[in-house]
Amino acid sequence: MPIVVDIDVMLARRKMSVGQLAERVGITPANLAVLKNGRAKAVRFTTLAALCEVLECQPGDLLRWETDGADGVARAEGADGTPEG
């Protein structure tokens, strides 16, 4: 997926555990793990705002875009995880 989640980086900088962050943001540790490990398909802006508030950072500190191939083009994935197009 071309969107990379860097929550681990901010957790390390803030010397905070996943459990502490989940509690302060108001989401379950399991849901935070899904987001942190890049398995989430979406994130609510309210959740992103809460993460930024607790971690004292900007959305760009948590999310970044990367290309998926040598040609520099991001490709969408189908429901089965294979590239479309």
Residue 10 contacts residue 56 (beta carbons within 8 Å): no
Nearest of 41, 36, 34 to residue 17 by alpha carbon: 36
Give tens-digit pLDDT for 16-75.
Answer: 999 999 999 999 999 999 999 999 999 999 999 999 999 999 999 999 999 876 655 555
pTM surpassing 0.85? no
Q: Which helix (H) or strand (E) holds 64?
A: strand 63-65
